[in-house]
Amino acid sequence: MDYIELHKQYKQNSLFGRHITLQDIEPIFMKFSANIIGNSVLGKPIYQFTVGNGATKVFMWSQMHGNESTTTKALFDFLNLIDSNEELGKRLIKDFTLCFLPMVNPDGAELYTRENANKFDLNRDSIDLSQPESQLLRKVFDEFKPDFCFNLHDQRTIFGAGSSGLPATVSFLAPSYNEQRDVNAVRAKAMQVIVGMNKELQKYIPGQVALFDDSFNPNCIGDQFTLQGVPTILFEAGHYTNDYYREYTRKIIFIALISGLLNINEIDIVDGNNADYFEITKNNIVFYDFLYKNVKINYDSKEIITNFAAQYKEELIDGKLQLNAYIVEIGELKGKFGHYQYNAHKMHYEDNSGNCPKLDQKANFTLGKVIRFENGIKL
């Protein structure tokens, strides 16, 4: 099956980029039988909709962190598929009952923050349930009684697939249910679905699938739902080369959603070989957005050759999301990679504030007096 072509056909073109808000998705709800189940801290509606009549129930939610929107885009692409006359869509709603909360944190989405309006990380509120959004998510879980959960997130550009020099475009996790990170039947089911998704995704992003850290934290929603006896899979949408809008990653998540559901039905998930899961490369913090090597600088009245790195900050300015590059690290940077790398070949660094890179300084500088960089990029 040509999943890329399938995505092109069912992509929700009205959703683009990183700053996806309730205002962007509300018009799309007109196509679906969506219900308002409650409100956020600031009174924004939180929507739920359920489709399908299959025996296996799967609960999916996205944007519990407001600035993590890639999976929300992919969810609506997926919904267009299952709302169509496509045979695959018909098969999925025949085999599954699917419940969606496509934007758990609409206040954070508007402000482009990880936290909700009370500055609380909803993914650390699974025991206390102190926030209205957390309470609604748990209420749907308790009432829907899913057989599987898909917990949909984004991860930062800093993550690579091991030390391969490739970005972790998608990371998965079968969350732990205890401190020892033991594998019981519940966790094993999630593992085997991930193994199946990884096999499919290797066709599109070879070497760029990783495993997220499985340290146990019962305050995290995935760990808590696994502890409650429901196989839960964490999806982390990451970086693909030159894809800062996460439009290619969106396609990969779309493929993963379909593949994950198909694997629930097709894989012998109870008796599967969990070794295949643990062989998947681990997430590793090895990337910067920009890495500049062999740069000559004046340091402590001496000329030295060094490296430095810059990282984008996602800043909402006048309601518009901007990616602004700031210097974040200076030194050897051994074992580190840049999504954009530049070898200065010992050219001299100059800027407007002392001719030496400084932490938290905008990445605007010149190399060799003639090569100009603005916002990290060579002009």
pLDDT at site 265: 83
> Which residues of the chain are under the pLDDT cut of 50?
none
Domain range summary for the chain, segments of one domain joined by +: 3-285, 287-378
Residue 346's SS3 state is coil
pLDDT at site 301: 78
- Give me the residues paired with residue 372 across strands: 366
- Give me the residues paired with residue 45 across strands: 39
Crossing angle, helix 247-266 and helix 70-82, to 10 degrees? 60
pLDDT at site 299: 79
pLDDT digits (tens, 9 = 90+) for 84-135: 999 999 999 999 999 999 999 999 999 999 999 999 999 999 999 999 999 9
CATH classification of 3-285 is 3.40.190.80, yes or no?
A: no
First CA to last CA distance, the chain: 41
Could you give the angle at the alpha carbon of 338 between the alpha carbons of 332 and 75, nearest 5°? Answer: 145
pLDDT at site 267: 64
Amino acid residing at 237: A
Environment class of 50 (CB within 10 Å of its CB; exposed 0-12, middle 13-18, buried 19+):
middle
pLDDT at site 32: 85
With beta carbons less than 8 A apart as the criterion, state whether 66 and 110 touch.
Answer: yes
pLDDT at site 1: 81
pLDDT at site 30: 83
Q: Which helix (H) or strand (E) holds 198?
A: helix 185-201
pLDDT at site 298: 85
Instruction: List strands edge to edge, sheet with 232-237.
Output: 35-39, 45-51, 96-101, 56-62, 148-154, 232-237, 170-173, 209-211
Q: E strands along 32-183, which residues?
A: 35-39, 45-51, 56-62, 96-101, 148-154, 159-161, 170-173
The predicted model scores a pTM of: 0.96
Long-range contacts, stretch 345-351, CB < 8 angstroms, 24+ apart: 345/294, 346/294, 346/295, 346/296, 346/305, 347/295, 347/296, 347/371, 348/296, 348/297, 348/303, 349/295, 349/296, 349/297
Q: Which fold has domain 287-378?
A: Urease, subunit C; domain 1 (2.30.40)
Residue 267's SS3 state is coil
Environment class of 216 (CB within 10 Å of its CB; exposed 0-12, middle 13-18, buried 19+):
middle
pLDDT at site 271: 56
Could you give the angle at the alpha carbon of 134 between the alpha carbons of 40 and 64, nearest 5°? Answer: 75
Q: Locate tokens 């899961």: which residue?
A: 277
